[in-house]
Every structure is written in C-alpha cells, then in structure tokens.
C-alpha cells in the first residue's frame, strides 16, 4: 500500500497556482477599492480659553438643577481639548486631537476621538454632614472661572467653600487640586469617598476585541506594583492605590492620588451593543485632615504609546498589555524595536510586517531545518516501523512500543527533537497575539483591503451572523487558513495512524485545526492573520527547498544504516522511558499471575 509522504510535483504545481490566484485576488481587491480620502485639514489648533464660559444643557443629570444653571469652561493644548461642567465641577469632555475614532457608518476612522463626552464619566467626593445626610460633590453646582491654562470651579454648601482647581499641563496631563474651607463646620468625617462611574465608549472597529481589552488598571506599593482586573469585580481593600485607571484598547483615563486611594473596590459589566462597551464603577477613600478635604490629584488622558507611558515614570507602561515576563520582554525589546527599524525604511505597515516575518523565520531556520531533517529520517525508517507494527500487531502494546523505540534508537532518531520547534513557537505566537491588537503604531494603518491592521478586514460581508464567526469573512483569515491547511498536508505525511481501537486519528485532528483557526482569526487583528499567512507560506517554501534541494534521502538512508552499525549510547530520556516500560511490564505480569492463581 502506498504511503502518504507529503506532496508530489503535481501538488507543488497546485500550490504555486493557488498562491498566484490568492495574491491576484488580493491585488484585485486592492485596485478595486477606492483610495481613502486624505484628512481634510491639519490637526486642529486649539486656543487657550480666556473666560470661555458658556451655557449648556444639563441633560437631566440632576433633576434639582435647571438646565440654564449649568455652565461649561474649556481648556486646550496641542494634544487635548477639555471641557468642564459646573454641575459637579467635573471634566465633562475630553478630546484627543491627534487621533480619530472609528465611524461605523462610513467604515473609516474619521470621527473626533472623545474619551469623555455625553456624561459617560461621572465622579465626585462623598461624605456625610452632621445631620447624617449624604453629600456628593457631583450633585453640587460650581461657578467656573478661567485664568490662562487653569480653571477654578467653586461651590458653596451651607457656608462651606469647595474648590476644584484644574491646571492643564503639557501633553496629556491635567493637574487637579481639591481645596475646602469651612467644611469642618458641617461634617465630622475624616475621609471622603471618591466615586467614579465610567462607561467605556466604542472607539475601534473590532467591538469584541476592544471590549476584551477594556478593564481597570492600577498601581500600588509606591508605584512599584501593578495589577489589572477584567473580571466582574475588583477588591483591593488592603492596598493603597497610587492611581486607578480605565484602560481601553489604545487609550486610558487615569486619576492619580498623591496620598493614595484606600479600601478600593469596583465592578464592571459588558454592554452588548450600542455606543458603549463596558460599565465600570470605582470607589476608594481619600483622607481628610481636620474634616477638611485638601488633596492633590492628577488626571491623565493618554494614548497607550509605550515611550510616552514610560516617560512619566509611574509604572504606566504596564497598562499596555504586552504579556507577562518573557512574553512582554519579547514584545518590548524585540518586536517593537524590530518594527521601528524596518518602518524607518519608509515601508507601509503591511510590508513592515512582511519583512519582520522573514527575519523571524531566518532566526528560526536552524530549528526548522532540524525538524524537517527529522521528518525525512522518519520517512526513511517508516518501512521498519511498519514491520514492527505488523510483527507485534496482536502482542502486548508495551512490547510493540519498546520495539519501536529500539528502531528509533538504532537509527539515531530523537523523536523529542521534533517537539522543539513547536515549543519555541508557542511563546512567539502568544507574544504576537498580544503585539498586533495593542501596538498603537499599527492603529489606522491600512494594507490592501484591510483598513486597519489592528482590526479585522470585512470586505466579504455576510447577510446573517454565524456563531463564533460574526457577519463577515476576513480575507486575511481565509488566506491564512488555506496556507496552514497546505502546510498541515505537507507535514502530516509521515504521521502514523493509530493502531489501537478508540485512539483518535491525529491526521484528522490536524486537518480540523486550521478550520477552527479561521473562527479565531476572523475577528482578530488582520495584522496577525497577515503575519501568519506569510509565516506559513515561508514554511511551505522552506519545506520544498529542504526536501528537493538540501536534503538527500539516499544520504540520510546511508547515515541511518551507519548509525545502526555503531554502538549507540542510550540517552537519558530514552533510558527513563525504557525503565518505565520495563517496570510497567513487570507490574502487568505480576497482576496476570495473581489473577491466574485466583482462578
């Protein structure tokens, strides 16, 4: 019976034709698709607000406050445009001027990017007066006053004066001071409860992906330790938090307390559809001295750009979810570094990823060579393995396994060597899984029919939703699935079929894997799919070159015969396996003898 030993020349020709068709398909859609319109104007230049106080509607935030009583004040710099509401003295609008939000109607990133707007953020300090009534500053009406780059909002509560002083600093920093006078006459509390309700706005194309990256993030232990929480609740009642933030896929809103937040807790829940992704609620205490609330805070409304985050020296760089330990280090010090070097050549983002892939494959090529050499050796000794299987067909499985291992040992074939490439590529896969959806330099970068390499491409739209797949088909994901399937066909030729009943057919499982991979990639970053398409296409080319150019099966066969004639030292792993089998065999004989005695 003829064995499946990979692909023949006809299959090679089929693969080449398929690749040409696939690339032709890609270029066809590239040319068919109209070029995106250039930005209509340069970045907006904001003016320092001078006495920029205007009337606005309250949108029924507080039913006891009439709409005409609400005022707003504005501040701005080159990066931020801020608005403050007299109701609660809060930051009521935050626009990041150098970035745009995704517009679902136009399928382009052409909307102003607001982290805060339409009352999606609501915060205040809560305490009890001496009558036991709960007072929250978010319900008070403040009077705004603008002076240069600072806004002072002042409220009066039963004779006590409460002031919120906001000063816009360079870039993405807003200094926030709370000052009170006479508060001790109406309250005996020694701490105030800071309550922050935040609804995360949908800013990116991939809703599910952005939602999964939206969570609490915070630092403690004098900024040295960092943690995050994407689950339902967070509880840090024993730690003093230096800052608490709401992280999104590429942006974050953070408030830092100079003296820390204590007894912190929060909860969050997903929003299934609409403008918002998640609802988050945070509560933590700040100290009051002599029942007066005089504390210093700082707001940060930032893009998750690694150099920027590190520049603050407050452990903000941990907000960027690049992975733990070795995985994170690989992204920070290799993939980001490599991307920056290649991008400096002037290539577009898609071609930068293409070159990155080639470099990574070159680095891993010695390991891949060993893997495919092992595969060729397995092919050569396959007839001997088949003889062992036939000889011990009805014998004890343990004996058959020992005989098989003996064939491998005499031929000098180390089966464990085939596991090394897979083990090496697992951390690389996970690192890239973290890299592509979180690297802000890729945000908004298009390539062929993908308008944003950090989101999926959906040129093929479905008239209905498919479970786990969505309402579209990603061309990059489809292309990646095809090449993974071809690679699987090529590498599974020497895989043995299960000899025992009930054992799963590994070949079938390997063919199913690429199809299941489609469901994962279809809603993931198209940059990830493009990387793995190129990576697996290179794998196929490497196999063909090794098989038809580098490796000579006759020489390998001669080498194996030479190995058989030489006394072969038994490796530690092989020795342990042999000893375990012998021990198991002895135990099996003992059990059979005991059963025979009972009979």
pLDDT > 70 in the chain, percent: 67
Residue 300 reports pLDDT greater than 90:
yes
Residue 8 has what pLDDT? Answer: 45
pTM: 0.74
Residue 304 reports pLDDT greater than 50:
yes
Do the beta carbons of residue 41 and residue 97 sit within 8 Å? no
Residue 597 in any domain: the answer is no
> Which of 99, 100, 96, 120 has the alpha carbon at shortest distance from 111?
100
Residue 384 in any domain: the answer is yes
- Is 362 in the same domain as 431? yes
Local confidence band at 355 (pLDDT 50, 70, 90 cut-offs): very high
Residue 579 in any domain: the answer is no
- Is 69 in the same domain as 124? yes
Q: Is 222 helix (H, G, I), strand (E, B) or coil?
A: coil
- Is 378 in the same domain as 412? yes
- Is 316 in the same domain as 426? no
Residue 585 in any domain: the answer is no
> Cα-Cα-Cα-Cα dihedral of 131, 136, 142, 144, to 10°?
150
Weakest-pLDDT range from 275-289, 380-394, 573-587: 573-587
- Give the count of domains, the chain: 2
Residue 201 has what pLDDT? Answer: 92
- Is 378 in the same domain as 266? no
* Tally of CB atoms within 10 A around 59: 11
Weakest-pLDDT range from 74-88, 309-323, 419-433: 419-433
Q: Distance (Å, rounded) from C-alpha 140 to C-alpha 157?
A: 8
Do the beta carbons of residue 187 and residue 225 sit within 8 Å? no
Residue 153 in any domain: the answer is yes
Residue 192 in any domain: the answer is yes
- Is 301 in the same domain as 352? no
- Is 103 in the same domain as 207? yes
Q: SS3 sequence, 495-519?
A: CCCCCCCCCCCHHHHHHHHHHHHHH
- Is 105 in the same domain as 58? yes
Residue 598 in any domain: the answer is no
Residue 435 has what pLDDT? Answer: 86
Q: Strand runs (DSSP E) across 106-190, as ranges?
A: 108-116, 121-128, 134-136, 143-147, 150-157, 160-168, 173-181
Residue 380 reports pLDDT greater than 70:
no
* Tally of CB atoms within 10 A around 68: 10
Strands 160-168 and 53-55 turn out to be unpaired
The chain-wide mean pLDDT, for the chain, equals 77
Local confidence band at 492 (pLDDT 50, 70, 90 cut-offs): low
- Is 416 in the same domain as 299? no
- Is 251 in the same domain as 390? no
Q: What is the rounded average pLDDT of the residues 325-333?
A: 84
Residue 275 has what pLDDT? Answer: 87
Q: What is the rounded average pLDDT of the residues 386-394?
A: 67
Do the beta carbons of residue 227 and residue 221 sit within 8 Å? no
Q: Distance (Å, rounded) from C-alpha 262 to C-alpha 190?
A: 13
| Rounded (5°) CA angle 576-578-581 | 110
Residue 123 reports pLDDT greater than 60:
yes
Residue 23 has what pLDDT? Answer: 46
Residue 480 in any domain: the answer is yes
Local confidence band at 112 (pLDDT 50, 70, 90 cut-offs): very high
322-327: long-range pairs with CB below 8 Å, 24+: 322/431, 322/434, 322/435, 322/438, 323/430, 323/431, 323/434, 326/427, 327/427, 327/430, 327/431, 327/434
Domain of 69, CATH number, reads 2.70.98.90
Provide the residue range defining the domain that includes 368.
346-495+520-568
Q: Is 346 helix (H, G, I), strand (E, B) or coil?
A: coil
CA atoms lying within 13 Å on the CB side of residue 22: 19
- Is 130 in the same domain as 174? yes
Do the beta carbons of residue 135 and residue 160 sit within 8 Å? no
Weakest-pLDDT range from 54-58, 220-224, 447-451, 539-543: 54-58
Local confidence band at 561 (pLDDT 50, 70, 90 cut-offs): low
Q: Distance (Å, rounded) from C-alpha 521 to C-alpha 533?
A: 11
- Is 73 in the same domain as 123? yes
Residue 427 has what pLDDT? Answer: 81
């Amino acid at each position: 019976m003829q064995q499946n030993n990979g692909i023949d020349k006809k299959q090679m020709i089929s693969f080449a034709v398929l690749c040409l068709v696939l690339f032709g398909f890609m270029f066809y859609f590239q040319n068919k698709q109209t070029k995106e319109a250039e930005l209509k104007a340069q970045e907006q230049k904001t003016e320092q607000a001078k006495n920029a106080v205007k009337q606005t509607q309250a949108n029924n935030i507080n039913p006891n406050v009439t709409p005409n009583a609400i005022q707003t004040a504005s501040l701005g710099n080159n990066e931020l445009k801020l608005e403050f509401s007299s109701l609660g003295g809060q930051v009521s609008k935050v626009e990041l001027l150098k970035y745009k939000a995704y517009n679902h109607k136009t399928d382009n990133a052409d909307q102003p990017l607001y982290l805060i707007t339409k009352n999606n953020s609501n915060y205040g300090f809560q305490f009890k007066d001496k009558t036991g009534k709960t007072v929250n500053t978010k319900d008070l009406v403040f009077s705004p006053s603008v002076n240069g780059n600072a806004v002072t909002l002042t409220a009066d509560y039963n004779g006590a004066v409460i002031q919120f002083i906001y000063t816009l600093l360079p870039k993405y920093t807003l200094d926030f001071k709370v000052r009170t006078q006479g508060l001790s006459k109406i309250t005996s509390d020694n701490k105030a409860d800071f309550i922050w309700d935040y609804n995360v706005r949908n800013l990116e194309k991939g809703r599910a992906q952005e939602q999964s990256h939206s969570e609490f993030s915070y630092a403690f232990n004098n900024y040295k330790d960092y943690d995050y929480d994407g689950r339902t609740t967070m509880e840090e009642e024993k730690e003093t938090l230096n800052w608490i933030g709401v992280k999104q896929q590429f942006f974050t809103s953070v408030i830092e307390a100079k003296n820390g937040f204590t007894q912190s807790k929060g909860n969050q829940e997903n929003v299934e559809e609409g403008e918002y992704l998640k609802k988050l609620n945070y509560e933590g205490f700040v100290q009051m001295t002599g029942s007066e609330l005089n504390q210093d805070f700082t707001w940060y409304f930032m893009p998750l750009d690694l150099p920027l985050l590190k520049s603050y020296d407050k452990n903000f760089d941990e907000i960027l979810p690049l992975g733990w330990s070795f995985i994170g280090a690989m992204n920070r010090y290799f993939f980001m570094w490599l991307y920056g070097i290649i991008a400096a050549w002037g290539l577009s983002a898609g071609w930068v990823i293409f070159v990155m892939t080639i470099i990574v494959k070159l680095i891993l090529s010695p390991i891949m060579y060993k893997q495919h050499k092992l595969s060729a050796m397995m092919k050569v000794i396959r007839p001997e393995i088949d003889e062992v299987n036939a000889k011990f067909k009805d014998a004890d499985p343990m004996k058959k396994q020992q005989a098989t291992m003996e064939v491998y040992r005499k031929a000098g074939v180390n089966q464990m060597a085939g596991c090394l490439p897979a083990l090496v590529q697992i951390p690389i896969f996970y690192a890239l899984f973290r890299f592509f959806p979180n690297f802000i330099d890729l945000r908004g970068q298009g390539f062929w029919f993908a308008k944003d390499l950090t989101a999926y491409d959906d040129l093929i739209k479905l008239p209905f939703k498919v479970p786990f797949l969505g309402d579209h088909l990603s061309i990059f994901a489809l292309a990646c699935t095809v090449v993974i399937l071809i690679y699987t066909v090529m590498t599974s030729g020497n895989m043995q079929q299960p000899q025992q009943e009930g054992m799963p057919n590994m070949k079938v499982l390997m063919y199913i894997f690429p199809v299941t991979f489609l469901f994962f990639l279809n809603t993931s970053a198209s940059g990830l799919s493009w990387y793995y398409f190129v990576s697996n296409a290179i794998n196929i080319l490497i196999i063909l070159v090794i098989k038809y150019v580098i490796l000579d099966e006759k020489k390998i066969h001669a080498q194996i015969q030479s190995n058989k004639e030489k006394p072969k030292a038994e490796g530690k792993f092989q020795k342990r396996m042999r000893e375990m089998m012998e021990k198991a065999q002895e135990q099996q004989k003992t059990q059979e003898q005991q059963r025979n005695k009972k009979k």
